[in-house]
Amino acid sequence: MVVHQLSRADARRLAVRAQMLDSPRPTDLLEVVRRLTLLQTDNVNSVAPSEHLVVWSRLGSAYSMDDMDDARADGTLIELQGMIRPGDDLVLYRADFAEWPGAGEISSWREGQGDWVDINDGFRLDILDLLRSDGPLTTREIPDTAVKSWKSSGWNNNRNVGMMLEMMEMRGETTVVGRRGRDRLWDLASRIYPDGPAMPSEAARRERDLRRLQSLGIARATAQGAMIEPVDVGPVGEEAVIEGVRGTWRVDPDQLGQPFHGRTALVSPLDRVIYDRKRMTDIFQFDYQLEMYKPAAKRRWGYWALPILYGDRFVGKVDATSDFKAGVFRVDAIHQDEPFDKTMAAAVHQEIEDLAAWLQLHLKLPK
């Protein structure tokens, strides 16, 4: 059995290159989404919606947000459980749609979801009929005809329409087709999803694991569960150990030994290169948290601080805000994890200027 011996620098470069954050930049939106496998959507617009910011970090200012809207309109890209994916990846999810809430032994939580949908089957059919006649619609435009409310200790308690739509999405019946303001627009999946076959469940899960590893370059075989998209990859790829890091990893062997040419990039806090915070700490030794949920007085770096990638290292954060009403991209601070030399400082400032230009905002730097 092959066990690859990697330095931290090897692992970092593998991760950066796999995520298309090296040089030269890619040039095509669909190429980026296929390689990354997904773009996580998010309503926070402190700088720009995260899915667009992730693409800009790869394509640069040649990218237009309209390109994604066009790709979604024609089904080239679809949204599934808050993740924008290539439309032709549906082959990997159709079996899960048919088997929902799951095949074999499933968690009591998932079983409870299935029972709730069954009890409220008339409510589900009402939604299908309404979307068929009037869709697409936002959640607030759909009447709640549930006979049993969804009970939760969290903020989803009694949010019957939203919960039913999301469970119908996991059944392959509904899908998000866009936004009206901050509200998601729902429609029948049959209007949006392209026709195609279904890959058997186990084969599809393995293929998803393989594509995830290819997009990450290096990942744990097992890791703490994520809400929607796993951060581990199972047994695919080959085993590796990283000098100075505990445990074993899985790597995509086809990406080993390739030349690395780094560049400077500002990335979204939800970017997959750092989304797995434990992997980020292990490989990049980068101290970072998304602080939007912290009181302002307790933030070290800012509400939506953008990590700064320089070559194969994260070297700081940019605390910035897009004020679209005032037409200003305001940079409140540039936090340096290590002192920037002149070359590094110039590269970071160039990237900030490019981001402001892409957003069509006037740049305002800290004094």
Distance in angstroms (rounded) separating the CA atoms of residues 271 and 266? 10
pLDDT confidence of residue 30? 97
Alpha carbon 139 to chain centroid, angstroms: 23
Residue 344 has pLDDT above 90, yes or no: yes
For 44, 78, 79, 149, 233, the CA distances from 33, given in Å and listed in that order, are 20, 11, 12, 37, 19
pLDDT confidence of residue 125? 98
pLDDT confidence of residue 267? 98
pLDDT confidence of residue 102? 87
pLDDT confidence of residue 43? 83
Class of domain 88-192: mainly alpha
Alpha-carbon Rg for the chain, nearest whole angstrom, is: 22
Give the list of residues 6+ apart from residue 122 with CB closer than 8 angstroms, or none: 145, 147
> 183 is written with which tokens?
């509200």
β-bridge partners, 218: 251
Distance in angstroms (rounded) separating the CA atoms of residues 19 and 208? 16
Q: What is this structure's pTM?
A: 0.94
Residue 28 has pLDDT above 90, yes or no: yes
pLDDT tens digits, 189-215: 999 888 888 999 999 999 999 999 999
> 323 is written with which tokens?
């004020």
Q: Looking at residues 72-82, what average pLDDT do you find? A: 92
Q: Looking at residues 161-189, what average pLDDT do you find? A: 94
Distance in angstroms (rounded) separating the CA atoms of residues 308 and 317? 5
* pLDDT range class, residue 2, cuts 50, 70, 90: confident
Contact (Cβ atoms closer than 8 angstroms) between residue 128 and residue 116? no
Residue 216 has pLDDT above 80, yes or no: yes
pLDDT tens digits, 283-337: 999 999 999 999 999 999 999 999 999 999 999 999 999 999 999 999 999 999 9
* Domain regions of the chain by residue span: 1-62+210-367, 88-192
pLDDT tens digits, 253-282: 999 999 999 999 999 999 999 999 999 999
E-only strand ranges, the chain: 3-6, 39-40, 77-80, 83-86, 137-138, 174-180, 183-188, 218-219, 238-242, 249-251, 264-266, 306-310, 313-323, 328-336, 362-364
Q: Looking at residues 80-99, what average pLDDT do you find? A: 95
Q: Looking at residues 338-346, what average pLDDT do you find? A: 96
| Residue 255 CB neighbour total at 10 angstroms | 18
CA dihedral 19, 22, 26, 30 (to 10 degrees): 10
Residue 154 has pLDDT above 80, yes or no: no
